[in-house]
């Protein structure tokens, strides 16, 4: 029997662990991978380019619509009717849950919120298989969007082993300090305010220093909080290329995960946890429904209460004492 062919479809970030690990996953399952990807700008530009490339692509048995491909699903569905091909959709996250419930960009009273919700329902129901990142998220998708659990497949985010691996400190963080490192977007799910309040609690611990790498929605609010608390033990750095991040991780004593209290924060395992564990750096993150699907408390990760700066500070001190 000839190998099955899978067509990668969409406009994914091809450097991301999510994209690369899905490619590897399907190759390991015996699929040949072909690509139909676009870098065109705009709604129509992407659709036209993908339509043309699909028509020129080799015969395939299935199409994998990569994240973020919500508004590409009607096109993918149309292109796979005659002859019929299986559609696999890497939903990864819900638009409405992320933008409305978690980040609160719009209220559920806003019609735009219901457009996002409808987009979630339509895109997932057009797929034969929906990919999601944790079992906890799978249960949410099945319930919220009226999907059969048998049509949802969990594929954990993972890391990029070509970048994230153990090694000696590369001295990217303050010398002679016990370095606590956070990497990520400044969004409510991260609970960065709790990290800053933990730094405030630990301000008398002269050997402990926090470095936060990232930016985004709540960055200004967090910089204002840092200034208000007069935190000299915290350094803020801008986003940087993914290739630079392992150097900082290998220079850290502890990596931080997420500490937000939203429903979404309770269902995810962020890629930063996989990255830090791959570098053999202990991770402190909030205890949630998903984390122990992949990791063991007290082994790769150390769990604290979500939204609790005091418990985070105490966990940092405890881990520091045990490392001496």
- Give the DSSP per-residue string, 252-302: -SEEE-----STGGGT---HHHHHHHHTT--EEEE--SSGGGT--BTTTEE
Q: In this predicted structure, what is the pLDDT of residue 322? A: 83
Residues 16 and 163: beta-carbon distance below 8 Å: no
Place of tokens 């977007």: 185
Q: In this predicted structure, what is the pLDDT of residue 76? A: 97
Report the CATH architecture of 178-323.
3-Layer(aba) Sandwich (3.40)
Q: Which residues of the chain have pLDDT under 70?
A: 1-2, 324
Bond before 181 cis per omega within 30 degrees:
no
Start and end residues for every CATH 3.40.50.2000 domain found in the chain: 4-154, 178-323
The two structure tokens encoding residue 101: 């419930």
The CATH H-level superfamily of 4-154 is Glycogen Phosphorylase B; (3.40.50.2000)
Residues 6+ apart with CB under 8 A from 3: 30, 31, 32
pTM of the model: 0.93
The two structure tokens encoding residue 179: 């370095």
Q: In this predicted structure, what is the pLDDT of residue 3? A: 74
Q: In this predicted structure, what is the pLDDT of residue 171? A: 94
Residues 260 and 190: beta-carbon distance below 8 Å: yes
The two structure tokens encoding residue 191: 């609970």
Q: In this predicted structure, what is the pLDDT of residue 323? A: 72
The two structure tokens encoding residue 175: 């010398």
């Amino acid at each position: 029997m000839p190998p099955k062919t899978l067509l990668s479809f969409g406009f994914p970030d091809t450097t991301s662990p999510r994209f690369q690990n899905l490619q590897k996953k399907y190759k390991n399952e015996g699929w040949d991978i072909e690509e139909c990807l676009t870098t065109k700008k705009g709604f129509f530009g992407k659709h036209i380019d993908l339509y043309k490339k699909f028509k020129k692509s080799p015969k395939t048995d299935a199409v994998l619509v990569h994240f973020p491909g919500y508004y590409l699903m009607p096109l993918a569905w149309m292109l796979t009717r005659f002859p019929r091909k299986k559609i696999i959709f890497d939903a990864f996250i819900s638009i409405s849950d992320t933008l409305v419930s978690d980040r609160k960009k719009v209220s559920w009273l806003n019609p735009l919120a219901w457009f996002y919700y409808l987009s979630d329902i339509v895109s997932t129901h057009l797929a034969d298989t929906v990919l999601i990142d944790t079992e906890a998220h799978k249960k949410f998708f099945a319930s919220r969007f009226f999907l059969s659990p048998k049509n949802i497949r969990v594929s954990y985010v993972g890391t990029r082993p070509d970048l994230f691996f153990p090694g000696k400190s590369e001295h990217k963080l303050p010398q002679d300090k016990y370095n606590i490192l956070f990497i990520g977007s400044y969004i409510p799910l991260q609970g960065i305010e709790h990290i800053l309040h933990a730094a405030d609690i630990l301000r008398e611990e002269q050997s402990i220093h926090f470095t936060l790498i990232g930016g985004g929605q709540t960055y200004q609010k967090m910089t204002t909080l840092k200034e208000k608390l007069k935190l000299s033990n915290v350094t803020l750095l801008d986003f940087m290329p993914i290739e630079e991040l392992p150097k900082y991780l290998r220079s850290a004593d502890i990596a931080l995960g997420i500490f937000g209290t939203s429903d979404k924060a309770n269902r995810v395992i962020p890629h930063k946890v996989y990255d830090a564990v791959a570098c053999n750096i202990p991770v402190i993150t909030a205890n949630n429904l998903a984390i122990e699907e992949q990791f063991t408390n007290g082994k790769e990760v150390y769990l604290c209460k979500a939204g609790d700066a005091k418990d985070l500070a105490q966990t940092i001190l405890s881990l520091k004492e045990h490392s001496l």
